[in-house]
Structure 1
Amino acid sequence: MDRSKELEEDKISNLLFKFAIPAIVGTMVNALYNIVDRIFVGQGVDPLGIAGITIGMPIMIMLMAFGMLIGVGATSLISIRLGQKRKEEAELILANAMLLSVLVHAAISILGLMFLDPLLRAFGASDAVLPYARDYMSVILYGAVFQGISFGMNNFIRAEGNPGIAMATMLIGAITNTILDPIFIFKFKMGVRGAAIGTIISQGISAAWVLLYFFGGKSMLKVRVKNFRLKWSIVRDIISIGSAPFAMQVASSILNVILLNSLSEYGGDLAISAIGAINSISMMILMPVFGINQGAQPIIGYNYGAQKYDRVKEALKLAIFWATVIVTSGFIITRIWGAQLIGLFGKNNKEFIQIGTEGLHIFLLMMPIVGFQVVSSNYFQAVGKPKQAMFLSLSRQVLLLIPMLYILPNFWGLKGIWASGPASDLGASIITAIWIFKEMNGLNQKICETENN
Structure 2
Amino acid sequence: MNETLTTKNKENPLGYEPIGKLLIKFSVPSIIALVVNALYNIVDQIFIGRGVGFLGNGATNVILPLTMVVIALGLLVGDGCAAYLSLHLGKGDKEAAAKGVGNAITLSIILGIVLAVFSIVLLEPLCHLFGATENILPYALDYGKIIIIGFPFSVINCALSGIIRADGSPRYSMMGMIMGCIVNIILNPIFIFGLHWGVAGSALATIIGQILNSGYYLLYLRKFKSINVQKAYFKLKSGIIIKVCSLGISSFITQIAVVAMIAISNNVMVKYGAMSVYGADIPITTMGITMKVNQMIMAIVLGIATGAQPILGYNYGAGNMERTKKTFKIIVVAATICMGLAFIGFQCLPNAILSIFGTESELYTEFAVKCLRIFLLFCILNGFQMCTGIFFQAIGKPVQATLVSVSRQIVFIIPATLILPVFIGVDGALWAGPVADGLAFVLAAVILKMQWKKIFAVAPKAETHEIFNRKEQVLTPE
TM-score normalised over the length of structure 1: 0.97
The separation in 2 between residues aligned to 1:48 and 1:185, in whole angstroms, is: 15
Cα offset for 1:346? Answer: 2.5
Question: Cα deviations across residues 292-331 of structure 1 (Å, max 9, x unaligned)?
Answer: 1111100000000000010000000000000001000011
1:246 paired residue among 247, 252, 255:
252
Q: Pick from 143, 148, 153 the counterpart of residue 141 of structure 1.
A: 148
Match of 1:231 among 233, 237, 241: 237
Give deviations 1:168-198, integer Å, cap 9, x for gaps.
1111111111111111111110111111000
Residue from 95, 101, 118 that aligns with 1:94: 101
Residue identity opposite 1:231 in structure 2: K
- Select the residue among 397, 410, 419 that pairs with 1:398: 410
Q: Is the 8 A contact 2:253 2:402 kept in 1?
A: yes
Matched, 1:332 2:344: yes
CA deviation map 1:330-377 (0-9, x unaligned):
110111210121122231433222111101000000011110111011
Change (3 A) 1:248 1:30: same
> Do 2:112 and 2:156's aligned partners in 1 also have CA atoms closer than 8 Å?
no
Bigger Cα displacement from structure 2, 269-278 vs 222-231: 222-231
Give the equivalent residue in structure 2 for 1:209: 216
Letter in 2 for 1:109: A
What are the ranges of 5 or more consecutive residues in structure 1 without an aligned counterpart?
Answer: none
CA contact (8 A) 1:396 1:427 kept: yes
Counterpart Cα distance in 1 of 2:420 and 2:133: 24
Structure 2 CA distance for partners of 1:168 and 1:448, relative to 1, 3 Å: closer
Match in the other structure for 2:191:
184
- Contact 2:38 2:295 survives alignment (8 Å): yes
In 2, the alpha carbon distance for the partners of 1:444 and 1:388 equals 15
CA distance in 2, matches of 1:317, 1:446: 19
How far apart are 1:280 and its partner, in Å? 1.7
Q: What is the distance in 2 between the residues matched to 1:144 and 1:325?
A: 34
Aligned residue number for residue 428 of structure 2: 416
- 1:428 deviates by 0.6
Q: CA deviation at 1:78?
A: 0.5
The correspondence of residues 57-206 of structure 1 with structure 2, limited to 5 A, is 57-206=64-213
The CA distance in 1 between the partners of 2:253 and 2:9, in whole Å, is: 35
SS in 2 for 1:125: coil
Contact 1:213 1:219 in 2 (8 A): no
Contact 1:346 1:353 survives alignment (8 Å): no
Is 1:322–2:334 an aligned residue pair?
yes
Mark the CA change 1:299 to 1:3 in structure 2 (over 3 Å): closer, same or farther: farther
Percent of residue pairs bearing the same amino acid type:
35
- Aligned equivalent of 1:264: 270
Partner residue in 2 for 1:281: 293
2:32 aligns with: 25
Deviates more, 1:99-108 or 1:435-444: 435-444
Q: Structure 1 stretches (4+) deviating beyond 6 angstroms?
A: 448-451
Which residue of 2 is the match for residue 46 of structure 1? 53
Q: Gaps spanning 5+ residues in structure 2: where?
A: 1-7, 274-279, 466-478
CA distance in 2, matches of 1:79, 1:441: 23
Whole-Å separation in 2 of the counterparts to 1:228 and 1:341: 45
Separation in 1, partners of 2:347, 2:25: 31
8 Å Cα contact 1:3-1:161 kept in structure 2: no
Find the aligned partners of 2:302 and 2:24 in 1 and give their Cα distance. Answer: 14
CA shift for structure 1 position 223: 2.8
SS at match of 2:152: helix
Once the two structures are superposed, residues 108-132 of structure 1 have per-residue CA deviations (whole angstroms, 9 ceiling, x without a partner) of 0001000100111121111110111
SS of match in other structure, 2:12: helix
Contact 2:385 2:440 in 1 (8 A): yes
1:10 Cα deviation (Å)?
0.7
Which one of 342, 361, 364 corresponds to residue 354 of structure 2? Answer: 342
The one-letter code matched in structure 2 to 1:193 is A
Q: Is the 8 A contact 1:313 1:440 kept in 2?
A: no
The whole-number CA distance in structure 2 between the counterparts of 1:173 and 1:164 is: 14
* Cα distance, 1:417–1:229 mapped onto 2, change above 3 Å: same
Q: Give, in whole Å, the separation in 2 of the partners of 1:2 and 1:317.
A: 23
CA distance in 1 between partners of 2:431 and 2:461 (Å): 46
Measured in 1, the distance between the counterparts of 2:184 and 2:227 equals: 30
Q: Which residue of 1 aligns with 2:311?
A: 299
String of CA shifts for 1:56-101, please: whole Å, max 9, x gaps.
1111111111111111111100011111111111111111100000
Query: Aligned-pair RMSD on alpha carbons?
Result: 1.8
SS in 1 for 2:306: helix
Residue 220 of structure 1 deviates from its aligned partner by 3.9
* Equivalent residue number for residue 222 of structure 1: 228
Native 8 Å contact 2:319 2:461 kept in 1: no
1:77–1:93 CA contact under 8 A, matched in 2: yes
* Number of aligned residue pairs: 452
Of residues 1-10 and 99-108 in structure 1, the stretch that sits farther from structure 2 once superposed is 1-10
The question of whether the paired residues in 1 share the 8 Å contact of 2:191 and 2:198 is answered with yes
Structure 1 residues 422 and 296, CA gap change in structure 2 (3 angstroms): same
- Counterpart Cα distance in 2 of 1:276 and 1:192: 16
Measure the CA separation in 2 of the matches of 1:24 and 1:183: 28
Aligned-partner Cα distance in 2 for 1:366–1:150 = 31
Q: Is the 8 A contact 2:321 2:460 kept in 1?
A: no
Q: How far apart, in 1, do the equivalents of 2:269 and 2:42 lie?
A: 20
**Contact between 1:29 and 1:171, CA under 8 Å: does it hold in 2?**
yes
Q: Secondary structure at the match of 2:319?
A: coil
C-alpha separation between the residues in 2 aligned to 1:449 and 1:29?
41
The whole-number CA distance in structure 2 between the counterparts of 1:387 and 1:176 is 39
Could you tell me how far apart the structure 2 residues matched to 1:448 and 1:333 are?
A: 43
Partner Cα distance (2:462, 2:411) in 1: 37
